[in-house]
C-alpha cells in the first residue's frame, strides 16, 4: 500500500471534516470516497483507519465509519482537559522555550491578527489553533505522551469548531478578545513570566470553549 497516497487522502478527508463537508455523525462510505478521488477502496480503508487512530472518526459494527460526534457534556470535558494538559505542557517546555520557539508561537498570533483586520475570522481562528498545535509539537520533543494527549484533544476541538461554525457566525469583534489574549500570552512568555503565561493560556481556552458551548446550546 502506498503510504503517501493513504496519508494524502487522510489529509483531504480531515480538511473536509474541518470545513464541515462531513459533519459529526456523517457516514464515510468507502466506495463513494474511492470513486470521488480515483483511488482503491483499500486506500480509503487505510486512510479511515489512520483517521480513527487520530480521533477524527469512529468505526461501529454494522454502521460503518462516521465522523466522531460529541455531546455538550463531552465538549465541556474536552475544554477542561485541554486547559489542564496544555498548562502542564507549558510548564514542562518553559525551561527550554528559547527566543526562536517563542517567536514561532507569536508568528501564528500575528497571522491571526492580520486575518482579523482583513475580516477573515475563519483564517484568524485557524491561526490561533496553529499556535496551540505548535505548542503540542514542542512538547512532543521530550513528553510524547502529553503531546499525544494534546493531539487528541486538539482534534476534538477542531471537530467541535466545525459544528460551531455551521451554527453561528463569528464576527471579527468577537475574535479580537481571543487574539488579544494570545498576544498577552506571548508577551508573558517573552517576559519569562510562567505563572502569568499559564493563567492567560487557561483563560483563552476557557473563553473559546465558552463560544463553542454556546453554539452547542442552540
Q: What is the pLDDT along the chain (218 residues), one digit of tens a residue?
A: 567 899 999 999 999 999 889 999 999 999 999 999 999 999 999 999 999 999 999 998 888 999 999 999 999 999 999 999 999 999 999 999 999 999 999 999 999 999 999 989 989 999 999 999 999 999 998 999 999 999 999 999 999 999 998 888 877 677 899 999 999 999 999 999 999 999 999 999 999 999 999 988 86
Q: What is the DSSP letter of 95?
A: G
Q: Bridge-partner residues for 59, per DSSP?
A: 65
Through-space distance between the first and last CA atoms of the chain, rounded to whole angstroms: 44
Domains of the chain: 3-67 (1.10.10.10), 72-217 (1.20.120.530)
Of 154, 149, 218, residue with least CA distance to 18: 154
Amino acid at each position: 500500500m502506498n503510504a503517501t497516497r493513504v496519508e494524502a487522502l487522510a489529509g483531504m478527508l480531515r480538511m473536509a471534516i474541518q470545513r464541515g463537508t462531513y459533519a459529526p455523525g456523517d457516514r464515510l462510505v468507502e466506495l463513494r470516497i474511492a470513486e470521488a478521488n480515483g483511488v482503491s477502496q483499500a486506500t480509503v480503508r487505510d486512510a479511515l483507519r489512520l483517521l480513527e487512530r487520530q480521533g477524527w472518526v469512529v468505526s461501529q459494527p454494522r454502521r460503518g465509519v462516521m465522523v466522531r460526534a460529541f455531546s455538550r457534556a463531552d465538549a465541556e470535558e474536552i475544554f477542561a482537559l485541554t486547559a489542564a494538559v496544555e498548562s502542564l505542557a507549558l510548564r514542562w517546555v518553559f525551561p527550554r522555550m528559547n527566543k526562536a520557539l517563542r517567536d514561532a508561537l507569536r508568528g501564528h498570533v500575528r497571522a491571526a491578527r492580520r486575518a482579523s483586520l482583513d475580516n477573515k475570522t475563519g483564517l484568524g481562528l485557524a491561526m490561533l489553533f496553529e499556535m496551540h498545535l505548535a505548542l503540542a509539537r514542542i512538547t512532543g520533543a521530550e513528553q510524547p505522551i502529553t503531546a499525544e494527549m494534546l493531539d487528541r484533544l486538539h482534534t476534538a476541538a477542531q471537530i467541535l469548531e466545525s459544528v460551531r461554525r455551521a451554527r453561528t457566525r463569528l464576527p471579527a469583534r468577537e475574535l479580537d478578545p481571543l487574539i488579544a489574549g494570545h498576544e498577552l500570552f506571548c508577551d508573558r512568555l517573552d517576559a519569562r513570566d510562567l505563572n502569568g503565561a499559564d493563567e492567560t493560556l487557561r483563560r483563552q481556552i476557557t473563553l473559546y470553549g465558552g463560544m463553542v458551548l454556546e453554539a452547542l446550546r442552540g
